């Protein structure tokens, strides 16, 4: 379905239109599943969190407690990005607690966030990435929000710009800045 159609359904559902909510469910579910598959495609085969479970948990967090209201698809994806990040981090923390650090969840870093050490791509801990994004958010909230939407939500610069009310140029600048900042931060942690 086209983006404008999704936006219209989101607006109608926010206004209490049950028919729109029913139409929206498979579309939202499909969108969340696309993002979840993207996150989990590089994981090991015995990874305990599957795409469908991630989607179900995200859907419950987004729509479970109250009538969620999103003015458009971009705002929905921004909210979903945050929900997926929280779910993945919670899962990684639980795994770390279960294994006492012996089986940390490792994630391939998005091409733009790849940390090159000795000319080899490095897998970093999702918990390390989360801590780095939190530290970035303390100093540069818009850059952290942009990288969260890109990495955890799979949003384009255009979708992010629409969600945060900034120009695409500003979002692209924030993404470049965030990638450089996170790279330095994660390389520094690896050197410690």
- Give the model's pLDDT for residue 140: 96
- 23's enclosing H/E stretch is helix 18-40
Segment 138-144 shows an average pLDDT of 95
- Kindly indicate the confidence band of residue 43, based on its pLDDT and cuts at 50, 70 and 90: low
pTM of the model: 0.67
Q: Are 109 and 37 in contact (CB under 8 A)?
A: no
- Give the model's pLDDT for residue 182: 93
- Kindly indicate the confidence band of residue 191, based on its pLDDT and cuts at 50, 70 and 90: low
Quick one: CA dihedral 130, 131, 133, 138, positive or negative?
Answer: positive
CA neighbor of 150 nearest in space, from 82, 68, 69 = 82
> What would the two tokens of residue 80 be?
């979903």
Judged against a pLDDT cut of 70, whether residue 45 lies above it is answered with: no
- 3-state DSSP: the chain helix, strand, coil percent, rounded to 5? 70, 5, 25
């Amino acid at each position: 379905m086209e983006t404008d159609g999704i936006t219209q359904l989101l607006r109608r559902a926010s206004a209490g239109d049950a028919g729109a909510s029913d139409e929206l469910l498979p579309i939202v579910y499909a969108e969340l599943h696309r993002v979840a598959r993207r996150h989990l495609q590089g994981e090991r085969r015995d990874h305990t969190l599957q795409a469908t479970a991630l989607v179900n948990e995200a859907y419950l967090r987004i729509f479970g407690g109250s009538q969620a209201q999103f003015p458009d698809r971009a705002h929905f994806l921004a909210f979903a990005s945050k929900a997926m990040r929280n779910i993945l981090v919670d899962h990684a923390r639980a795994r770390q607690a279960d294994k006492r650090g012996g089986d940390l969840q490792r994630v391939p870093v998005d091409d733009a966030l790849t940390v090159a050490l000795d000319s080899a791509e490095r897998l970093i801990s999702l918990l390390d990435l989360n801590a780095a994004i939190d530290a970035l958010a303390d100093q540069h909230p818009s850059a952290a929000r942009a990288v969260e939407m890109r990495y955890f939500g799979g949003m384009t610069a255009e979708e992010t710009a629409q969600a945060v009310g900034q120009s695409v140029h500003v979002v692209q600048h924030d993404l470049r800045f965030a990638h450089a900042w996170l790279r330095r931060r994660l390389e520094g942690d690896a050197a410690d």
